[in-house]
Chains A and B, each alone.
Chain A
Amino acid sequence: MPGAPNRAVGSKRFRTHILVFLLPATLIYTVFMVYPLFDSMRLSLFTADSAGRETFTGLQNYVTLLTDDLWAPRFWGALKNNFVFFVIHMVVQNSIGLMLAALLTSRSVRGVGFFRTVFFMPAMLSFVIVGFVWQLILSPLWGVAEGILSAVGLEQLFAPWLGLESSALNALSLISVWQFIGIPMMLFYAVLISIPYELIEACIVDGASAWRIFWHIKFPLIFPTVGSIFILTFVGNFNAFDLVYTTQGATGAPNYSTDLMGTLFYRTFFGQQLQLGNPTMGATVATMMFFVILIGVLIYTFVFQRRVESYEL
C-alpha cells in the first residue's frame, strides 16, 4: 500500500540514508531562509548608531515605526496602499478570471488549450517588462492608449494615469491584474472542468435554472479555489516591489501614492538619495510585513479551510 510505514523488522540500526537524503535541502533552507528570517526579527529589537554598534532597544523601533512623525505616515500609507492593491486584485481577478473560466468550460468551445496558453503568457514576463510596456502604452507621448480611446470616441477619459496621484495606484493594480489573470482563471477552470456533466444535466432535467445550478453546485466547489487565490494574492501582493520600482521608483511616486510595503522595506534598509539605509528599521518593517502575512494566513485558515467539506466527485 503506498504510504504505509517502512519499518525494518526488528532493526534498530540508525538509518543514515534518511539523513543523507534530507540534509542538503534542509541545510540550505535553514541557512538561507529560516536563519535570516529569525535574525531579521532579532535585529528589529536593536538600534544601530552611526558607527554600526548595535544596542538592544526592545520594541522601540516598532513604536517609532507606528507613531513617529517621520516614519508612521509612510508605514500606514504603504499599508493602506497594499490594502487597496489587494482589494482591486481580488475583485477584478476573481470576477474576470471566473468569467473566462466559465466560458472556457462551456462545452461548445474549441481550442481551450490555445486560449489557456495565451491567457497565461503575460504571467511569464518579468515585472520590468510589464511595467515598461504599460508605461509606454499609457504614455501621453506615444499616444497608443490615447489613440485607441479616441477610436472608440472615449478620448476625454484619457489622462496620464500613471503620473497622477489619484490614479497611479489603481492603474498599477490593473496592470498587475492584467499580468496574472491567467492564474485564477486556470484554478477556476480546473475546478469547473472536474464537475461531471451528468450532474449538471440531471439538474437541468429537474428544471433548475442556470443561476440555481451555479449557486448551489458550482459556487460551493469553487469556494476553496477562491481561498487559494486569496492567499496567493495576499502573499504575492506583499512582495510586490518590482512593478512599482520599475515604473515609479523606490519612493512610490507620485508622492508616495504607489508606495507599497515592499518599496518601503527597500527604501528603509537599503536607502536611496533622500535617506540613508537603516538596517534595524528595515528589519522592523520586514517583521511587520511578516506579521501582516501571518494574519492573512490565519484568515485563510479559518475562513476558507474550515468551511471546506470534501465533495466526492
Chain B
Amino acid sequence: MSQKLRNRIGRLPTYLILLGAMVVALFPIVLIFFNSFKERKAIFNSPLMPPLPDTFSLIGYEKVLLRSNFDLYFLNSLIVTLAAMALILFTGSMAAYALSEYRFRGDTFVGLYLALGIMIPIKLGTVSILRLMVTLQLVNTLAALVLVYTAMGLPLTIFILTQFMRQVPREMKEAARIDGASEYRIYRLILPLVRPAIASVAVFTMIPIWNDLWFPLILAPGEKTKTVTLGAQQFLGQFVTDWNAVLSSLALAMLPILILYVLFSKQLIRGLTAGSGK
C-alpha cells in the first residue's frame, strides 16, 4: 500500500466519529421534518423513512395553520425580536463608543456596572419586573418584552462592541475632529468599521430573544401578544395526541431560526469565539 493510501485509511476513524456525531446532532431535526409531511399511518409504521409519494400528506400543516394563530405569533416574535435588536444595537453601540473613546471620571465604574449584567441572569428580578410592568400598564404588551430583552442584551453587546471599537485607529478620528466634525458625526463615521462585530452581536442576541419562553409566559401571555415559542408550547400541550399537528407545528417553529442560522452561521460562530481569543 502506498503511504498516501495508508494515510487516507488512517483518517477514516476520525471521519467516522465526526459523521456519527453529525447524525446524532441532526437526526432529531430531520426526523421531525420528514414526519411532518407524512400521513398518520406512515408516521407510526415507518417513522424513519422520508415522506414518499404514497405517504406524503400536508394534513398536519393544514391543522396547525387553520386551528391556531401561528401567523400572528410569528409576527409578534418578529416585531419583538427586531425592535429589541434595533434598540440594543443603537443604544449599545453608542454606549460602547463612549466607553472606548473617552476617559472621564468613573469610566471604569460605568464599564463594570454595565458588564455585571453579563453574569447575572435578568430572570432573577422577574417578580419586580412584573410589578413594574403592572405599574407602567405594560402587561400583555409587546413593548414590555422589547424593553426587557433590550436590558438583557445590552451588557454583553456593550462589552463586545467596546473591545472592537477600541481597535479603530485614532488618526482617523483625530483628523475628523480637526476638520470640525462633531463627536456624533465621528460616531457615525466609525460605525461601518465595526460592522462585522455588530453583525455577530446581532445574530447572537437575536436567537435567545426569539427562543425565549419565560418572559412571554409571564409578561405577555395574552392571545394577541403570544410569541411563536409560547404559542408552540401551548399548542403542543393541547394537541399532544394529534401527531400530525404536533410534528407540523414543531417543524414550523424550527424553520425561521434554521433558515436564519444557515444564512448567518459564519457571523455567529465568529462572534462567539471572538471573546475567547484573548
Contact = CB atoms under 8 A, between A and B. Distances in A.
Interface string B102-117: 1110000010011001
11 contacts: A37-B124, A37-B128, A40-B127, A103-B17, A108-B14, A109-B14, A117-B269, A121-B29, A245-B233, A282-B126, A290-B120
A118 B170 contact: no
Given A24-B90, A117-B269, A128-B233, 14 more contacts: A2-B166, A15-B104, A33-B152, A35-B132, A36-B122, A96-B21, A100-B21, A115-B18, A121-B25, A127-B211, A178-B24, A178-B25, A187-B272, A286-B127
A210 interface: no
Given A21-B95, A178-B24, A1 B253 contact: no
A3 B166 contact: yes
B94 interface: yes
A289 B122 CA distance: 12
Nearest to A108: B11
A4 interface: yes
A234 to B, nearest CB: 10
Interface in B229-245: 229, 232-233, 236, 243
B22 A115 contact: yes
Interface of B: 7, 10-11, 14-15, 17-18, 21-22, 24-26, 28-29, 31-32, 43-44, 47-48, 87, 90-92, 94-95, 97-104, 110, 113-114, 117, 119-129, 131-132, 147-148, 150-152, 154-155, 158, 166-170, 182-184, 187, 207, 210-214, 218, 229, 232-233, 236, 243, 246-247, 250, 253-254, 257-258, 261-262, 265-266, 268-269, 272-273, 276-277
Nearest to B272: A186
Nearest to A234: B119
B213 A128 contact: yes
Contacts of B14: 103, 106, 108-109
B contact face: mostly helix, strand, loop, or mixed: helix
A85 B21 CA distance: 22
A230 interface: no
Given A2-B170, A121-B261, A116 B28 contact: no
A109 B44 contact: no
A183 interface: yes
Given A28-B154, A137-B28, A118 B218 contact: no
Contacts of B104: 15, 18
Contact of A116 (B127, B128, B166, B269): B269
B128 A35 contact: yes
Contacts of A22: 94-95, 98-99, 110
Interface string A180-199: 01110011011100100000
Contact of B276 (A24, A125, A190): A190
Contact of B214 (A20, A104, A241): A241
Interface stretch (A67-75, A141-149, A161-169): A141-149
A98 to B, nearest CB: 13
Nearest to B231: A128
B150 A32 contact: yes
Interface string A266-297: 00011000000001001100110110010001
Interface in A117-174: 117-122, 124-130, 132-134, 136-137, 142-144, 147
Given A6-B103, A36-B125, A40-B124, A24 B269 contact: no
A-B pairs with lowest CB-CB distance, top 4: A36-B125, A126-B211, A36-B128, A21-B98
